[in-house]
Amino acid sequence: MTIDLKTIKHIAKLSRISLEDEKAQKLATDLSSIFEFIEKLNELNTKDVAPLTSIAETTLKFRKDEVKSENLREKILKNSPSDNEDFFVVPKVVE
């Protein structure tokens, strides 16, 4: 399968990754060859096969809803590039 430039730009948009034209072209080539490789799967008839969604066949356990960690707000905010001591700060979203 060939993945064209338009599709690459669409995927980049969905992935929230900005892409210059030059890089987009290279990615189109790479992804085309990868999808060609992936399409080997079409040789297999999987009509009656159930998808394997989890390898660990366990049921989720219940636990008490308790707060166990200390107050880490300050430390967590410190990892962010911009904060005002109480919140993460992002560029203005509302006009």
Partner 1 sequence: MTDITSLTLTELVKNIKDKNLSSTEITKAFVERSEKSKELNTYITEDFTSAINKAKKFDEKPNFDLKLPGIPIAVKDLFCTIGVKTTAGSKILNNFIPTYESTVTQNIWNQGAILLGKLNCDEFAMGSSNETSFFGNVQNPIDKNLVPGGSSGGSSSSLTANLTPVTIGTDTGGSIRQPASFTGTVGLKPTYGSCSRYGIVAFASSLDQAGPMSKNVKDCSLLLEVISSYDPKDSTSIEFKRNKYSEELTNNIKGKKIGIPKEYRVEGMSNEIEELWKKGIEYIKECGAEVIDISLPHTNYALPAYYIVAPAEASSNLARYDGVKYGFRTKGENLIDMYEKTRSDGFGNEVKRRIMIGTYVLSSGYYDAYYLKAQKVRRLIKKDFDQAYSKVDAILTPSTPSSAFKIGEKTNDPISMYLNDIFTVPVNLAGLPGISIPAGVDKKGYPLGLQIIGKAFDEQTILNIAYSMEEKINFKNKITDWWIK
Binding site for partner 1 (CB under 8 A): 3, 7-8, 11-12, 14-19, 27, 30-31, 33-34, 37-44, 46, 49-56, 58, 60-61, 63, 69, 72, 75-76, 78-82, 88, 90-93
Of the chain, the end-to-end C-alpha distance in Å amounts to 43
The least distance separating partner 1 from the CB of residue 46, rounded to whole angstroms, comes to 4
The least distance separating partner 1 from the CB of residue 32, rounded to whole angstroms, comes to 11
The structure tokens 């109480």 sit at 86
The least distance separating partner 1 from the CB of residue 81, rounded to whole angstroms, comes to 4
Structure tokens at 67: 């707060």
- Give residue 68's identity as a one-letter amino acid code: K
